[in-house]
Amino acid sequence: MDISKNNVWKTLASFFMVLFAMPLGHALMIMMENWMTPTAMHYAAFTMGTVGLVMVIIGVFAQGDTRQTLWGLFGGLLFWTGWIEFILMYYARRYGVQPEMVNGEVVTKPEYLLFPATFGFWAMFMLLYLFSAKTGCNFFNWCQKVFFGNKKNAIVVRPMTRHTSIVTFMELNMILWTSYLLLMFCYDSHFLGDHHPVTFLVGLGCFIGAIFMFIRQLKISSWGANIRFSIATVIVFWVPVEI
């Protein structure tokens, strides 16, 4: 395996940048919950999501792969926090969804209990990517090879129009969405539960997978591609931490 020192530093820098960027959305949520009234908080959250969306669109017109990637990453984080998590929080509170309690303590907030209800929307996006998009994603390439075999090139004819900012934005949101659905399925005692062996295997599999992804990432010399790969690596790495 041909790995230069430059690649190692790029990979480490990309990994830790994404790792430390991910909690920023939750930090903003906590600050807004503590410092704002509920009405002001929801207006601010909607504004945050709007700013994130605008940042992603600005990234489409930015020059350079790395700049577009950064616009997509940070815009996507604001979008996810403002228009996904906060909107779920708003409707959970509005309609009185109760948190999951264990021994008198909140173990899952109401907004996260609503995530499994989005499964059908998630499947719709997955269907689009599986049948209608040639991508650089190893997971989708593997799925297309398994399901379509020799007919892959006839079924998935061409890639979508590529804007790196949009690609990064969609990668971030789809992987976050998938990981939340996976975690909520594992946590749900009607399906598996926290201490189920399958839940343990999911965590172990993601941890091992993250190691292999990191090793593969060491071969990437481009900053933009390295950062985009780090998004997947960090989220997969964080699944066993949550479990």
Q: Which two tokens stand for residue 87?
A: 């909107």
Confidence grade of residue 200 (pLDDT, cut at 50, 70, 90): very high
Q: What is the pLDDT of residue 131?
A: 93
Residue 14 to residue 221: CA distance in whole angstroms: 11
Q: CA nearest 11: which of 169, 211, 207, 167? A: 211
pLDDT tens for 30-75 read 899 899 999 999 999 999 999 999 999 999 999 999 999 999 999 9
Residue 87 to residue 199: CA distance in whole angstroms: 28
Enter the pTM of the model. 0.93
Cα angle 100, 80, 191 (rounded to 5 degrees) comes to 35
Q: Which of 59-68, 72-81, 150-159, 206-215 has the lowest mean pLDDT?
A: 150-159
Q: What is the pLDDT of residue 145?
A: 92
Confidence grade of residue 122 (pLDDT, cut at 50, 70, 90): very high
Of 24-38, 114-128, 133-147, which has the strongest mean pLDDT? 114-128
Q: What is the pLDDT of residue 65?
A: 97
Residue 1 pLDDT exceeds 70? no
How much of the chain exceeds pLDDT 70, in percent?
99
Q: CA nearest 234: which of 7, 11, 14, 19? A: 19
Residues 158-162, mean pLDDT to the nearest whole number: 84
Q: What is the pLDDT of residue 136?
A: 83
Q: What is the pLDDT of residue 74?
A: 98
Tell the burial category of 154 from Cβ atoms under 10 Å away from its Cβ (0-12, 13-18, 19+).
Answer: exposed
Q: What is the pLDDT of residue 14?
A: 97
Q: What is the pLDDT of residue 2?
A: 58
Taken as a whole, the chain contains a residue count of: 243
Q: What is the pLDDT of residue 179?
A: 97
Residue 211 to residue 241: CA distance in whole angstroms: 14
Residue 144 to residue 155: CA distance in whole angstroms: 9
Residue 224 pLDDT exceeds 90? yes
